[in-house]
Structure 1
Amino acid sequence: MMRRFTKPVFLLLMLCITALCVQAQSVVISGAVIDKLSKAPVPGAGITIKGKTVGTTTNQSGKYAFSTAEKAPFTIVISFLGYTSIEKLISGNTANLNVELEQEGILGQEVVISASRTPEKILESPVSIERMGHSAIKEQAAPSFYDALNNMKGVEVSTQSLTFKSINTRGFNSNGNTRFNQFVDGMDNQAPGLNFAVGNIVGINDLDVDNVELLPGASSALYGAGGINGTMLMTSKSPFDYQGPSFQFKTGINHVNDNNTGVQPYNQLDVRLAKAWNNKFAVKGTFSFLQAQDWQADNFSNFDRAARKGKDGNRNSDPNYDGINVYGDEVSQNMRNVAQSVLNAGTSGFVQGALGLIAPPTAAQIDAFKSNPAGLNALNGFLRTNATMRPFYAGLNTPGLLPDQNVSRTGYEESSLVDYKTQSLKASGSANYRFSKTVEAIAQVYWGSGTSVYTGSDRYSLRNFSIGQYKLELKGQDFFLRGYTTQERSGDSYIASILGSYINETSKKSTDWFPQYVGNYIGAKSQGATDAAAYAAARAAADQGRFVPGSKAFGLAKEQILNTTIAGTDFKKGIYGAKFNDKTNLYHYEGMYNFSNLFNNVVEFQLGASYRLYQLRSNGTIFNDLVDEINIKEYGSFAQLGKKFFEDKLKLTVSGRYDKSTNFDGRFTPRVTGVYTVAKNNNIRVSYQTGYRNPTTQNQYIDLSVGGGSQRLIGGIPEILNKYSLFANQAYTDVSYRAFLAAAAAGNPDPTLLKSYSFDAKGVRPESVQAFEVGYKGLLGPKFLIDAYAYYNIYKNFITAVDVYQRNTDGSGFTKFGVPVNAAGKVTSYGAALGIDYLLANYNLSGNISYNNIGDIPDNYINDFNTPKIRYNLGIAKRELIKNVGFNVNYRWQGKFYWNSSFASGDVPAFASLDAQVNLKIPSVNSMIKIGGSNVLNKYNFTSYGNPAVGAIYYVAYAFNP
């Protein structure tokens, strides 16, 4: 019989015996974890052997099972963030070990990383920090986690459109804020060519957000250039820790009681998939699509762009009306100057014919001709009697007939020019491999495309705009190495004001329109018409043939201009373009090592370095890169040393960073912080921080026609200033130029009124801030958390802009330039904030109030603090109001303030907004239904002048495995 055992059978038998032996030596544990109150499963709960890292996590149904070679008896710990941990003694194989976890308050116990680039409790942070975890995100009273940032202490939001918002803290807010850094999984979220952080146009899917950490104030010592007013880090969920499928569909309405559009649908789908194998390899993918009708900017207030302030009147009462959200009416001329230009052209033609010249006469030849009485009489006779010249001659030579008045072309409302059909398509994915428990490699991609509206120096329609971010990273417990690239593609994006102006030019050139206007005005006045009637008649005559929105001619002109790039514009050939052609790229490489473990954590010591390359590729539609490619290189390194003293009650940290950019001198930014524990869970913090930002890529290299072609924005570095000879052929200040025009129009030209503007030989330089802060954060009992701070900031070399007028070398007039420069002197700001969280019978009561103000400013500084002095938030929430039903309500108020920007300036009225949601959890299918709304009282408001007023969004959302 023994001979019948073949070798394979013998081996199989031995394997079975071995497996049985192993099984006999292992302890197998299984069961489920549920919420004590709702009885819902708790996915992602950790089950570990006490004192060891061996264990597992619950699946989507809250179930778990694992085996261990640990010798019984031993203790396992069942834990999950937001719940009280439970310990169970294991004496052997255990099945159906079901555990009920009870929710607890976790005030002040969250762990943050961004404040010191090392894990620490938020209570022990050396600087102010705000945090939003995934549990709070899931039940936020806002359409998205990005909208919920508004409820954080001291956070300001400027809303340019439905999907584009700018985040800021501590003053100097702006559209497309360049003083606030945003990072997604360690990647800078800015569009490198358009210079703004793209917010969540291209970012984390709501289902994939693990946490958001926000640092108000300067943070350059740890995060480099930028972040002069704050830094926000958004972190996605690991595919190892959050597995399985998730999806959410949200449907709702907006534009309720909106006369512009009427009620419109709002729909969004989010999907996330993640899977891990053997805790070694994991992948995830996300998809999000949003479709809605955007808010329409309809501020038609009259605006004086030269003085950057509002003025009285509308299109019917002011011949020089320039509506804020009306485009094409930026093109303006003085009536007397127009008349004089017509007479000058007639004079040139008459003299050329009288002298028999082949080419037009020179100024000297014309002066010589006029010096002869016979010639002058003949010329005046021609100008006085010629049918074309006669009205203009009479207008300039008849007292009171032709006023010293600027008139503007008839513009188009933004709704006729901008694409309001908002879409946002986002996708992301990662592949993660763990070499060990602490070392992980990650390949990650974020890509997004969409249509939105952004406010800069103009209103920009971002149509089919896309950005891709691609990253490779190796990280461990004490280090990371990271490289990523941001690839920006402008798609079919364009400038609204240029589009409006060029549609006007296509229908009738301004060189024809203005003479027609002035000539008809003079004719009407000569026949006894009132000023108002003459202006109306002049505009009606000049606007004959104007393309009307909705007409075939308007549509054809619009389409042609949108398909032509800005660089393709050729005025002589009648070719006009408003489209960007931007393919700018950013490449970034950085690494950091934390040496603390090598020193047995007696001291904390970190070193890091980074290298960044901007490749500006706009084909001449944004930058001065039509002929030559532009590359900007930035280098940086930092070090941080921290140590605890006096039985760990005092922690001092010193940080410093050195950065160098291609066009600017190297810069050192230090930081010193101290945290003192006055009692358990009660800490006082003091910090001195410095921050700086380089002039943006546009501040350095922009070369762009804006304002309907009435102005040219150029970079402030010497290379661009020399291109337009602004050192050799000095331009004149805006104030003196307007005084000169007024005198010339009155018939008293006085060149001595023109005052030169001298640009700094080094051009525009980086701006910097010194920030002083003192704060307190503590638990007054286990259910009452208080956080307070006060700050004082000193800014130097604040980057602002000037408008100057340069005399053209051919004598044809002046060219207007907008140039970034540094404000002389120092600008100061100060403020304070207080936040309170209180847990009362499982209700979470919260509130915060912040105060921000600007202090000393130089006389020549344009105040763009752009921040309400006081704003506050009040919130109440309960995860379980009744079984499986929770709610969250947040009330927000901010005071009136003045908004100043290169696009528009004016008062932003005080307003209040109420966000609310109620949710029903369905444990049997691991789902949640949420009914909610933002600004539920539908009180339309705007956060920055010239941007659209925003009303309510009401929605219903169904989420599986949120």
Structure 2
Amino acid sequence: MLKKQLLVIVFTLSAVVNFAQVKINGVVYNEYLEPFYGAKVVSGSETTASNDNGEFTITVNGSLPQTITVSAFGHQSEIVEITRVGQKVNVILKENLLLDQVVISASRVPERIIESPVTIERFGLTDIRKTSANSFYDGLVNLKGVQSRETGYGFKSLNTKGFSDFANSRFVQMVDGMDTAAPALNFSAGNLSGVSDLDINNVEILPGASSALYGANAYNGVLLMNTKSPFDFTGISTLFKSGVTNQELAGTNWFYDLSGRMAYKFSDAFAAKVNFSYFEAHEWLANDTRNKLIDTGEITDGTIDNRLNYDGINTYGDEFNNSISIQNIGVNFFNVLLPQDARVYRTGISERDLLVDEKAKNLKFSASFHYRPFEDERLELIFATRLARGNNLLQGNASRFAQRNYSFGQSKLEVRGENFYVRAYHTRNDAGDTYNLNATGAALTARTQATNLVGNWGVDYLIGLSDNGIDWNNLTADFSILQAARAYADSFTIQPGTPEFREAFEDVRSTLITEGGSRIYDKSSYIHADGNYNFRSLLNDWADVQIGGSFRQYNPDSRGTIFNDATQTIRVEEYGVYSQIQKKFLDERLKLTASVRYDKSQNFDGNYSPRFAVNYALGADKNHIVRASYQTGFRNPTIQEQYLFNQPGRKINLGTSWDNLNSLDVQGITGDDVLNNSLLTRTVFPDDTNYQGPRYQKSTYEAIVPEEVKTIELGYRSMFPITDTNNISIDVNGFYSIHNDFVFFQDILTPTAGQVLPFGNTPVTAAQLADPNVANGFIDPDTNILVLDAQALNSNLQEFNIVTNSKSIVNSYGASIAINTKLFSRFDLGLSYDYIDFSFDDKDLGLFDPNFNTPNHTFKAQLGNENLFKNVGFNVNARWLDKYRWVSTFVKGDVDARTVIDAQVNYRIPALKSRIKIGGTNLFGDEYFVAPGTGQIGQTYYISWTIND
């Protein structure tokens, strides 16, 4: 009897133990009943993920019934009840509506998009897989409010809220928390140093001022690219892509794109991954022959044969020779007095003749090692490194650059837990063999053949005019004479395509710009550290209370080719601290967010950036949310804007931080002279029709300070059903911003120390020149009034192009709406419309032209179906951009309206865990450029094969 009782007890205990630890097997599928890889499965403290076949195994602890939760980014979580041993579990994960997806960047805490206190855009794994663009980064342009700036095939930069050119230092881009801004440029080179298509997990974009959480330069917005964790996404993935680009100028050319990713989870404590990618493609070539000297709202047409003052947009060397005084040459060599506005520009060299290679190339490599000492997400240590190298074309503020063999690298050490992170990283770049196209053209056009006895292009030009019988009183009466004179002067210059030209070209581009060549030296770097802590768990979930801070030290090194560091070392340090509190009230319908940040740079006063936001949820399901926010942003002047010092032509480009001005000594001119004893150039030589003021106007511009913006935003987001199986989401917002201290370039003339006027022995000062009695001419013998000769005066003045702040206050405003739903319950449909504009009260005498560079109206549409037929899907993106005006110091002009259509069809091969995609960009569209001077963007047709994505 006792034995029987013991047996019963043993079997009962065994059953209880076995029942208390039940292993559950299951399979996760997507909406198309394909295996779902990487889904997270949770039961209590146990966590696992589905494998390549969607399969998972997890242990359920405790007595049944129990529940497990299956989730994945961008998909609705599913809760499954386990009621018996051996229960078969099949889970189908459905995509979230866009507004139901979770983001982190808006508040640095997880929250649904619909609950975000500010406007936010998200591009998740599903969007990346569906995009019809050539890459995930190209696909971001289809998001509401996002614009792309493309200088070539490889270089693309993104922006929101307007006011940017290609040197977009007002928009921050980050990869896994690291700012990807190049140390010398202080702006990101797009995705040239970013993430491969195989490793990107999701992208979050905060349009507008975000300095309260992200500090300096988060002025127009922040883009955060987050990569895949090797703990969650393991295995080997590959991407093979090829196709052709088509452009009228460059023709039809093949391109190649290859990526690979290897990730391995060695244990629950350690995982690692490696990525590489490489592309090679023909550049979108630029050949804009219009005359950029003429700006009447748009760049008017002109050719070199019918103008004295012709400066072609994509010709180089002509713009550096407008100091040729045809008046002086006429008097000294031909005894004729030519009109003051008769200025001649010499013949330049086309861009194609200055390119050693017409291909864009980009190689990226990254690796990271992840260690979890507690074998879960409570604590993780990460070491990561990223490297990039390649060739591309870049359009800067004052020139275009051929970047050759450039490199960029970052290394990071990060410790993060459930409530905090601390990271430090080092960023460095090497310009390699990069050269300035303007400086290259200037150096080459200055070289003449040995047969040229005169040695001066301007003299040769007037000899050509004289020999062909020019009417000196009407220089433009006969264009054929102008053509003949130019041909005569050009006959003594070295010509593209000749051995002599090639030898000179190689010499110029390999010689530093400070030594008479055009090569840029840049081995700048910076170190950065930041951290954040959330006190929520310590406050028993009463509220999210965060504190954080950051530190950065810039170490520019250009050997004087960019910065004023030829004979001195420059170091710039800045730091910031911030705090935020976020709490919900009234049954969690009302959410209040308040943030404040203090930032200090060593060259500027400290800056406070507050942010306040309120959300209120309406409806029984809390899916109708209204919001209002007040945000601030600021931008510290870049290292270039602070320490710029170079002289590519007759002008000296000068940054105006006091640290830079105090070291200035050019022909006896000091920094104090630049600010307090200078004239506005346009008031001495009035060749700008926008100028509105008297002659010889004294400059009152000051040393540079940070830009500031204050924004009020109102918004509404809603999700509601339209049928039993279909929902619709709506996102509407409007904003109004006030901008102060916009940074811009201003031309000034400063009298050189010790120089005297031709009619006396007293050095001229800007105050004397600003006297209302001063006008153009000589001393009037009848009135004995001092009257200056502008041409003689020019020899006593040094021209500077200074970086300073506008006195005008700029206002910008706009509104947008986005609608997402399913059409016929099968087709994904997305529509968005953006309106944005600006105005300003001119306080700069017509000399400040804001670089808004954004269309007033933009419409975007998306239509797709991931499972149109079995294993076959498609996606189409279309966008229409209104005509807009482009403003930069390089060129000004209108950009035509355009319609761009991208499309792709894909075929999934489940047995091979792969996807084949065939697509094209700018289908059926005309070639277009995003700014004058950039390459015309044509069509791209591609086929790709992705394995294990």
Bin of the TM-score, shorter chain as denominator length:
0.7 to 0.9
What corresponds to 2:642 in structure 1? Answer: 700
1:596-607 aligned within 5 A: 596-607=536-547
> In the alignment, residue 507 of structure 1 is paired with which amino acid?
T
Q: Distance in 2 between matches of 1:297 and 1:669?
A: 41
What corresponds to 1:610 in structure 2? Answer: 550
Q: Distance in 1 between matches of 2:637 and 2:187?
A: 13
What corresponds to 1:430 in structure 2? Answer: 368
SS in 1 for 2:248: coil
The C-alpha deviation readout for 1:339-393, integer Å capped at 9, x for no partner, is 63687xxxxxxxxxxxxxxxxxxxxxxxxxxxxxxxxxxxxxxxxxxxxx6xx24
Q: How far is 1:53 from its partner?
A: 3.1
Identity %, equivalent residues = 36
Contact kept? 1:84, 1:101, Cα under 8 Å: no
1:65 paired to 2:61: no
Q: How far is 1:296 from its partner?
A: 0.7
Contact kept? 2:402, 2:435, Cα under 8 Å: yes
Contact kept? 1:84, 1:104, Cα under 8 Å: no
Query: Counting helix residues as a fraction of each chain, which structure ranks higher?
Result: 1
1:848 paired to 2:840: no
The C-alpha deviation readout for 1:275-299, integer Å capped at 9, x for no partner, is 1122210000100000000101111
What corresponds to 1:533 in structure 2? Answer: 480
Q: 1:212 aligns with which of 203, 206, 213?
A: 203
Q: How far is 1:173 from its partner?
A: 2.6
Q: How far is 1:67 from its partner?
A: 4.4
Contact kept? 1:74, 1:91, Cα under 8 Å: no
Q: Distance in 1 between matches of 2:226 and 2:342?
A: 57
Q: Distance in 1 between matches of 2:383 and 2:323?
A: 60
What corresponds to 2:914 in structure 1? Answer: 927
What corresponds to 1:749 in structure 2? Answer: none
Q: How far is 1:321 from its partner?
A: 1.0
1:496-645 aligned within 5 A: 496-507=437-448, 512-525=456-469, 531-567=478-514, 569=515, 576-645=516-585
Q: 1:76 aligns with which of 55, 64, 68?
A: 68
Per mean C-alpha deviation after superposition, the further-off stretch among 724-733 and 212-221 is 724-733
What corresponds to 1:329 in structure 2? Answer: 318
Q: 1:778 aligns with which of 698, 718, 730?
A: 718
SS in 1 for 2:428: strand
Cα 1:582–1:104 shift into 2, 3 Å: closer
Q: 1:316 aligns with which of 305, 312, 336?
A: 305
SS in 2 for 1:150: helix
SS in 2 for 1:117: coil
What corresponds to 1:138 in structure 2? Answer: 129
The C-alpha deviation readout for 1:256-291, integer Å capped at 9, x for no partner, is xx3322100111001111011222100001000000
Q: Distance in 2 between matches of 1:632 and 1:105?
A: 45
> In the alignment, residue 905 of structure 1 is paired with which amino acid?
K
Cα 1:522–1:309 shift into 2, 3 Å: farther
Q: 2:700 aligns with which of 758, 765, 768?
A: 758
Q: How far is 1:168 from its partner?
A: 1.2
Q: Distance in 2 between matches of 1:184 and 1:676?
A: 32
SS in 1 for 2:685: helix
SS in 2 for 1:525: coil
Cα 1:785–1:404 shift into 2, 3 Å: closer
For structure 1, the residue ranges without an aligned partner over 5 or more in a row are: 1-18, 344-388, 570-575, 743-751
The C-alpha deviation readout for 1:137-181, integer Å capped at 9, x for no partner, is 011110111111111111111111111112111121311211111
Q: 1:412 aligns with which of 320, 327, 349?
A: 349
Cα 1:777–1:521 shift into 2, 3 Å: same
Cα 1:308–1:516 shift into 2, 3 Å: farther
1:164 paired to 2:155: yes
What corresponds to 2:42 in structure 1? Answer: 48
Q: 2:27 aligns with which of 23, 32, 36?
A: 32
For structure 2, the residue ranges without an aligned partner over 5 or more in a row are: 1-13, 756-794
Q: Distance in 2 between matches of 1:204 and 1:705?
A: 36
The size of the alignment, in residue pairs, is 866
SS in 2 for 1:331: helix
Cα 1:463–1:660 shift into 2, 3 Å: same
Contact kept? 1:156, 1:173, Cα under 8 Å: no
SS in 1 for 2:479: helix
What corresponds to 2:770 in structure 1? Answer: none
The C-alpha deviation readout for 1:231-254, integer Å capped at 9, x for no partner, is 111110111010001011111111
> In the alignment, residue 888 of structure 2 is paired with which amino acid?
S
What corresponds to 2:768 in structure 1? Answer: none
The C-alpha deviation readout for 1:731-780, integer Å capped at 9, x for no partner, is 321222214999xxxxxxxxx953332332xx011010110000001102
Per mean C-alpha deviation after superposition, the further-off stretch among 804-813 and 607-616 is 804-813
Q: Distance in 2 between matches of 1:73 and 1:740?
A: 84
Per mean C-alpha deviation after superposition, the further-off stretch among 415-424 and 636-645 is 415-424
Q: 1:822 aligns with which of 794, 805, 827?
A: 805
Contact kept? 2:243, 2:942, Cα under 8 Å: yes
Cα 1:720–1:48 shift into 2, 3 Å: closer
> In the alignment, residue 28 of structure 1 is paired with which amino acid?
K
SS in 2 for 1:698: helix
RMSD over aligned Cα atoms? 2.6
Contact kept? 2:543, 2:582, Cα under 8 Å: yes
Cα 1:683–1:40 shift into 2, 3 Å: same
Q: Distance in 2 between matches of 1:684 and 1:83?
A: 23
1:808-887 aligned within 5 A: 808-809=752-753, 811=755, 812-840=795-823, 841-860=825-844, 861-887=848-874
Cα 1:504–1:606 shift into 2, 3 Å: same
1:960 paired to 2:897: no
Contact kept? 1:482, 1:589, Cα under 8 Å: yes
What corresponds to 1:283 in structure 2? Answer: 272
1:94-243 aligned within 5 A: 97=88, 99=90, 101=92, 103-243=94-234
The C-alpha deviation readout for 1:514-541, integer Å capped at 9, x for no partner, is 1221233233326999642332232222
What corresponds to 1:7 in structure 2? Answer: none
Q: 2:289 aligns with which of 300, 307, 318?
A: 300
Q: Distance in 1 between matches of 2:77 and 2:534?
A: 32
Q: How far is 1:908 from its partner?
A: 0.6
Q: Distance in 1 between matches of 2:320 and 2:104?
A: 52
1:898-909 aligned within 5 A: 898-909=885-896
Q: Distance in 2 between matches of 1:312 and 1:451?
A: 31
Contact kept? 2:682, 2:688, Cα under 8 Å: no
Q: How far is 1:55 from its partner?
A: 3.3
Q: Distance in 2 between matches of 1:316 and 1:305?
A: 16
Q: How far is 1:652 from its partner?
A: 0.9
Per mean C-alpha deviation after superposition, the further-off stretch among 104-113 and 721-730 is 721-730
SS in 2 for 1:286: strand
What corresponds to 2:259 in structure 1? Answer: 270
SS in 2 for 1:538: helix
What corresponds to 2:737 in structure 1? Answer: 793
Cα 1:102–1:827 shift into 2, 3 Å: closer
> In the alignment, residue 115 of structure 1 is paired with which amino acid?
A
Q: Distance in 2 between matches of 1:84 and 1:114?
A: 21
> In the alignment, residue 842 of structure 1 is paired with which amino acid?
R
What corresponds to 1:353 in structure 2? Answer: none
Per mean C-alpha deviation after superposition, the further-off stretch among 790-799 and 532-541 is 532-541
Q: Distance in 1 between matches of 2:526 and 2:943?
A: 39
Bigger Rg, structure 1 or 2: 1
Q: Distance in 2 between matches of 1:755 and 1:403?
A: 19
Q: Distance in 1 between matches of 2:231 and 2:322?
A: 65
Q: How far is 1:103 from its partner?
A: 3.2
Q: Distance in 2 between matches of 1:220 and 1:741?
A: 36
SS in 1 for 2:605: strand
Contact kept? 1:472, 1:482, Cα under 8 Å: yes
Greater RCO (Cα-Cα under 8 Å, separation 6 or more): 1
Q: Distance in 1 between matches of 2:65 and 2:71?
A: 20
Q: Distance in 2 between matches of 1:332 and 1:770?
A: 43
Cα 1:334–1:711 shift into 2, 3 Å: closer
SS in 2 for 1:108: helix
The C-alpha deviation readout for 1:491-527, integer Å capped at 9, x for no partner, is 1111111111111123369962112212332333269
Q: How far is 1:132 from its partner?
A: 0.5
